[in-house]
Chains A and B, each alone.
Chain A
Amino acid sequence: MFSRSSIAMSWLSALAMALPGVCFAQDTLRIGLIVPMTGPFASTGRMIETGVNLYIKKHGNTVAGRRVEIVLKDDTGTPDIAKRLAQELVTNDKVNLLAGFGLTPVALSVAPLATQAKVPMVVMMAATSTITEASPYIVRTSYTLPQVTEPLADWARKNSIAKVVTLVSDYGPGIDAERAFRERFSSKGGAVAGALRVPLRDPDFSPALQRAADAKADALFVFVPTGAGTSIMKQIIERGLDKSGLKVITAGSIVEDEVLNTLGDAAVGLASTQHYSAAHDSPENREFVADYKAATNGGRPDLPAVHAYDGMHLIYEAVRKTAGSVDGQRLVDAMKGLAWMSPRGPVSIDPDTRDIIQNVYVRKVMRRYGELYNVELETIPDVKDPVKLAKKKSP
């Protein structure tokens, strides 16, 4: 019996040794990257990874005398796994920062840990407004949904759209987008004729689209996660909704650069607001797009890539500002107020909310160089997260 259990013991200790060892050197900057690399949101995770690697390749793997090390973890989109991984990254791998975070629940589940461990957490995708309030150590380089949705409502009113039906996926960001659009649009005198919510994992949009068609509105506001937009667009075309005079407008979803080309000419003219387009006309962006294409065999960068690229820039600049100190509080303080020229245009970190302040662009889908692009037509400069702005005013 003893021999048996001792065999088992030796097995276990062998296993323990085989697990990734802990090593900690003073001159490194360790960043734990928690992203969905498998599962329904895998494409977000892969794009974040590419953006991070692109930045490191471009700007070197040392900053302020520290060698940058990325520890990549797959959270599978599951909050409790993400929480455990973050805990392990902090306690075992001794990371100095956490970054990534594709989904809102994942970011929210890790937030208390960031506070407890005093580790800065750079959110590179999750876009629900409340996230930065969950911990004083969270800094966000992506966007918030109201930030890009309210300008769309304004634009719609200016372009004599009076009656709108909203169609969103039934999850945090979708509901956020719906609320932001409805409130802004009604406050400007528009009417929301119907608010449709489609389950997140729903394969068929036809019932919702039929309702939208029945409502006889001027425009259909859509917000769905990346990927679902393609099938919505196809069904809109199939139903001839585009020809019946119903305009489709969106705060960036459907016309993501990642899938835009597959929509075909039916998408031409589709209006949207968003903070980044691969067609953004600036030297920084031309370089970024070219590098991205080279790194991914001709792929086109989309939001997660640029958020991750900027997130890395934020981290590099903060470490430079603290002259190499990796104290969590000092890093977050250094990040507040940082401003730089991103591929998406000028951006800065709001010192009050730790959210990003950026330009929002009104774009229309056009054909350029034989491909479809979101071409930016109007710029609304320096947009802050309107939810937190309103909160600040009201109390």
Chain B
Amino acid sequence: MLTILFDGVAYGMLLFVLACGLAVTLGLMNFVNLAHGAFAMTGGYVTTVLLNDWHVPFLMALPIAFLATAMLGLLLERTLYVRLYTCGHLDQVLFSIGIVFMSVAAVTYFMGSQQQSFQLPAFLQGRFELELLSVGRYRALVVAMGVAILIILQVILMKTSFGSRLRAAVDDRRVARGLGISVGPIFSLTFAIGSGLAGLGGALGVEIVGLDPNFPLKFMIYFLIVVTVGGTSGLIGPFLASLLLGIADVAGKYYLPDTGSFAIYTLMIVVLLMRPQGLLSKAQ
């Protein structure tokens, strides 16, 4: 029972790490970036190559995956994304889907279309057997990272001057600019961090959900569910939504194997009918 609960939590945390970058770009910056999964995929492939071909230790590969993806995000933001902040959402959808298509084909070209995987270091394999539950070591790491990322992001957003400038820039770009806040660099940095987090999520996800060139399309809906159900006003909402969805999905499939695959969508519809703006949202 508790084991199922823990698996659900771990799955939810993985969803959170994958989707929190989107919560930032879509939720805060109001940019519909459907190519978020492409950044996650980049992180996954970077990690795979580092581990399999360069024999970099796993824990070292994670920050490299984060940085590499963040750099890619920064590059694309400066060259392409920056021109679309003021465009309508439909343009953003069209553009980011285009990026997804290109990334899928490019990865197929360079890496082939087969499933990728790597060997975890021994200390992350296996489980801790506790009194009532048994905890996969790797899943424990994922949960820890999910919580750590939430805390760090929340602190940055709420307690630092960068965070307050970002919030100001998000609320009203023109006024913020008038106050001498350099909106451009702030958005670039935020976008880069969001992409980097996606890359980190992709790297962590290889072991649990696998990795192939279709990753961005396969998981696009999951990311969107997390952000929509969580609400677009901050990170706590998506965090709770990830937990809820992870637990509902795993428990639903465990206890009701015949109808469990309905769980995640039913839950989403019910939540959105009761709270159209998501679990946590600013007062209108």
Chain A residues engaging chain B, CB cutoff 8 angstroms: 38-40, 42-43, 46, 170, 196-199, 201-204, 206-208, 210-211, 226-228, 230-231, 234-235, 237-240, 258-259, 262-264
Contact = CB atoms under 8 A, between A and B. Distances in A.
Contact of A208 (B115, B213, B257): B257
A42 B7 contact: no
Contact of A231 (B114, B208, B250): B208
A227 B250 contact: no
B250 A207 contact: yes
Interface string B94-117: 000000000011001000111111
Contact of B115 (A38, A197, A207, A259): A259
Given A39-B214, A230-B210, A231-B209, A264 B115 contact: no
A234 B113 CA distance: 20
A40 B214 contact: yes
A240 B212 contact: no
A203 B210 contact: yes
Contacts of B208: 203-204, 231, 235
B4 to A, nearest CB: 6
B4 A42 contact: no
Contacts of A204: 7, 11, 208-209, 249-250
Given A199-B261, A234-B207, A239-B136, A227 B114 contact: yes
Contacts of A230: 115, 117, 210
B118 interface: yes
A211 B214 contact: no
Interface stretch (B59-67, B119-127, B158-166): B119-127
B218 A210 contact: no
Interface of B: 3-4, 7, 11, 104-105, 108, 112-119, 125-127, 136, 138-139, 207-210, 212-214, 218-219, 222, 249-254, 257-258, 260-261
Most buried by B among A206, A259, A262: A206
A16 B113 CA distance: 33
A270 B230 CA distance: 43
Given A204-B250, A207-B251, A262-B117, A239 B209 contact: no
Contacts of B125: 237-238
A207 B117 contact: no
23 contacts: A38-B104, A39-B214, A170-B261, A197-B258, A202-B261, A203-B222, A204-B208, A204-B249, A207-B251, A208-B254, A208-B257, A210-B3, A226-B114, A230-B210, A231-B117, A231-B210, A234-B117, A235-B208, A238-B125, A238-B126, A238-B127, A239-B136, A259-B117
Given A208-B253, A231-B209, A262-B118, A201 B218 contact: yes
B104 to A, nearest CB: 8
Given A238-B138, A240-B127, A207 B254 contact: yes
B257 A210 contact: no
B113 A42 contact: yes
Contacts of B4: 207, 210
